[in-house]
Amino acid sequence: MIPEKLIQELKAIAGPEQVLTAAEDRWTYAFDATDLDHMPDAVVFPGSAAEISRILVLANAHRFPVVPRGAGTGRSGGAVPIQGGVVLVLTRLNRILEINTKDLVAVVEPGVILGRLKAAVEEKGLYYPPDPASAEFCTIGGNVAECAGGAVAVQYGVTRDYVLGLEVVLPTGEIIEAGTRTMKGVVGYDLTRLFLGSEGTLGVITRITLRLVAKPVARQTLAAAFKTLQAAGEAVSLILASGLAPTALEFLDQVTLGCVREMLPFKVPAGAGALLLIAVDGHPRDVEERAARIARFCEEQCARPVLRAKTPAEAEELWKARKVVSPSLKKVKPQKVSEDVVVPLGAIPELIAALAKISRRRGLIIPCYGHAGDGNIHVNILYDRNLAAEREAVGATVEDIFVLVRRLQGTLSGEHGIGLTKAPYLGLELSPGAIALQKRLKAAFDPNNIMNPGKVFPAT
């Protein structure tokens, strides 16, 4: 527990009303979008990088953990204060400082909600592509800390590909600038990308410079219902091999499709085994032609219907249905473990087939959906914690899946991070030498291990 004297110091730094210590207040910041939780000793809402610097100096002197947090939408336990200490909530740092249409950059604070940023950028005629399903709730700071992705990553890449520069408070309290405001830069080691996906373990991000791009002139969205997941998979392979370069290429299997069926703006035939959702960006005639060819690939695999959204509103409805897939799985079973593995593009069919086998062997429903276009598949292990057989099968099922993914030369996480949930499995992907090097890196930033301790690395 953090002693009262230090709580007073935290109040002196951030203001008394910005420090919460009542149990009911702290409880709100004990968890994220996983099922995990742990009570923090205090919750602090700092108002500036200078305040954060003073808090980290205090934490270093007295060795208490500091866990940065945005909106708590993370799926790997990154914001859960597993060793107590201070949860540093960054939602007061929520200014869009600049959207510059000449330099094609935005400068923002970490607490800005992604959806608000995207809308503000589009108002200026530009586009910030990353679009995780939580876009309306999550913060850009969390996106950077976890390197969030989303559906349009197939064409546009992930958060990493848009962060040019950062202001960061190091664990020892120094405020540094990393990266640039320019489109290119190779001065010194790439600290910017090292902070990308570092899950709050290397410092507190306090300002972000983002690259913006031209707004796509036209976008078409298609939906196609397939009899079987295999047929959908064939269509995906054809589309990827065609060079038609879709912007998004999402799939829903039978279970996930069932969960959002009534949200879709068209009638999905009974017995449909999979849905593909596809977007194509570009210049109007070009988009028209590519969408037509993609529709043909789907029809060749006997997809019925193959719908091309007629209005932006209809397209929006399709994407809305996609975005609620994850929470709507609670309709099937009360608990779930969400993984976001990635396999090489050619291995997607083998992954899907092998997951069906694991599901049968372990007696658990394992619905899949997600980013077929880049091999990043959201694999969900559903269970009821009141059923001992289901509850007890979860751990072995997770391990089966990770072993499978590694056999296919895949990776454990494409966009959710390691956090708490995957830390025990890090050794399945990284060698002891690579883990030792990563620990030396962590120590070079954070000699006293105050920043988000207990994350990324397996407990020793």
Residues in 255-284 that interact with a copy of itself by CB under 8 A: 282-283
Structure tokens at 393: 């099968």
Q: Examine residue 302 and tell whether it contacts a copy of itself (CB under 8 A).
A: no
Binding range to a copy of itself, per CB under 8 A, among 24-32, 108-116, 252-260, 370-378: 370-378
CB of 306 to a copy of itself, least distance (A): 21
Helix (H) or strand (E) holding 357, with range, is helix 348-362
Contacting a copy of itself within 72-101 (CB under 8 A): 100-101
Contacting a copy of itself within 387-406 (CB under 8 A): none
Q: Examine residue 285 and tell whether it contacts a copy of itself (CB under 8 A).
A: yes
State the Cα torsion 225-219-416-166 to the nearest 10°: 180
Q: Examine residue 438 and tell whether it contacts a copy of itself (CB under 8 A).
A: yes
* Identified binder of a copy of itself from the candidate list 442, 449, 451, 452, rule CB under 8 A: 442
Other CB atoms within 10 Å distance of the CB of residue 188: 8
Toward a copy of itself, which CB reaches closer, 61 or 434?
Answer: 434
Residues 188, 233 contacting (CB under 8 angstroms): no
* Identified binder of a copy of itself from the candidate list 115, 185, 265, 273, rule CB under 8 A: 185
Pairing mode, strands 204-211 and 248-253: unpaired
* Identified binder of a copy of itself from the candidate list 232, 235, 418, 450, rule CB under 8 A: 418
CA-nearest of 155, 158, 135 to 147 is 158
Q: Examine residue 414 and tell whether it contacts a copy of itself (CB under 8 A).
A: yes
| Dist CA 173 CA 131 (whole Å) | 32
Q: Examine residue 182 and tell whether it contacts a copy of itself (CB under 8 A).
A: yes
b (16+ CB within 10 A) / e for 312-350: eeebebbbebbbebbebbeebbebbbbbbbbbeeebbee
CB of 195 to a copy of itself, least distance (A): 9
Q: Examine residue 309 and tell whether it contacts a copy of itself (CB under 8 A).
A: no
Residues 315, 389 contacting (CB under 8 angstroms): no
Q: Examine residue 57 and tell whether it contacts a copy of itself (CB under 8 A).
A: no
Residues 355, 423 contacting (CB under 8 angstroms): no
Q: Examine residue 60 and tell whether it contacts a copy of itself (CB under 8 A).
A: no
* Identified binder of a copy of itself from the candidate list 215, 227, 319, 365, rule CB under 8 A: 215
* Identified binder of a copy of itself from the candidate list 343, 372, 398, 401, rule CB under 8 A: 343
Q: Examine residue 426 and tell whether it contacts a copy of itself (CB under 8 A).
A: yes
* Identified binder of a copy of itself from the candidate list 228, 338, 430, 448, rule CB under 8 A: 430
* Identified binder of a copy of itself from the candidate list 21, 83, 180, 448, rule CB under 8 A: 180
- Residues whose CB is less than 8 angstroms from the CB of residue 221 and which lie 6 or more positions away in sequence, other chains included: 277, 278, 279, 308, 309, 314, 315, 318, 319
Contacting a copy of itself within 137-166 (CB under 8 A): 146-147, 149, 153-154, 157-158, 160-161
CA-nearest of 140, 152, 145 to 452 is 145
CB of 49 to a copy of itself, least distance (A): 13
Q: Examine residue 241 and tell whether it contacts a copy of itself (CB under 8 A).
A: yes
CB of 88 to a copy of itself, least distance (A): 20
Residues 239, 226 contacting (CB under 8 angstroms): no
| Dist CA 129 CA 391 (whole Å) | 38
Structure tokens at 162: 């848009």
| Dist CA 113 CA 44 (whole Å) | 19
Toward a copy of itself, which CB reaches closer, 125 or 327?
Answer: 125
* Identified binder of a copy of itself from the candidate list 12, 119, 389, 443, rule CB under 8 A: 443
Q: Examine residue 459 and tell whether it contacts a copy of itself (CB under 8 A).
A: no
